[in-house]
Amino acid sequence: MLEPAGYKTLPFFKQAEIIYDFTVEFVKLYVPYKSRTRDQMEQAARSGKQNIAEGYLFKSLKGRIKLVGVSRGSLEELLNDYLDYLRQNSLKLWDKDDPRAQKIRRLVYKNYKSYNDYIRKIAHVNLRIHT
């Protein structure tokens, strides 16, 4: 039997948790409070994280794989919400070779374990998202 909280050590759970925390902050700052989009984004991010935890508790491998798939679907939905936000606000999606994207990509390859690790690192970095 797997340890009940063992999923918290899984890299994809940690990433999903960071995505959830980032999304909650993002919608607070940029999406109107009573917007359906805000609720959708928060719920998709939460589902991405929570389905990993729920799936980990299944006894069968089939059940675990199914919920990881549900998690991935939720995160794909969230990605599309972010892309919609960029399009609707006339913001450009940075190319992977853009210097601003490179700064963020370098952070991802560090061994950060939480959203707060990222926030501390980028707090002093000017990313100029509107250019």
Distance CA 121, CA 110 (A): 11
**Residues 49 and 15 sit within 8 Å (Cβ to Cβ):** no
C-alpha to C-alpha distances, 1 to 5, 57, 58, 73, 88, nearest whole angstrom:
12, 9, 10, 27, 47
Give the list of residues 6+ apart from residue 56 with CB closer than 8 angstroms, or none. 2, 6, 7, 10, 13, 64
pTM: 0.81
- Three-state DSSP at 21 gives helix
| Per-domain residue ranges of the chain | 6-91, 92-131
pLDDT in tens, 32-74: 999 999 999 999 999 999 999 999 988 899 998 999 999 999 9
Q: Are 97 and 84 within 8 A, CB to CB? A: no
The tens digit of pLDDT for each residue in 2-25 reads: 565 688 888 889 889 989 999 999
Class of the CATH domain delimited by 6-91: mainly alpha
The answer to whether the CB of 50 falls within 8 A of the CB of 81 is: no
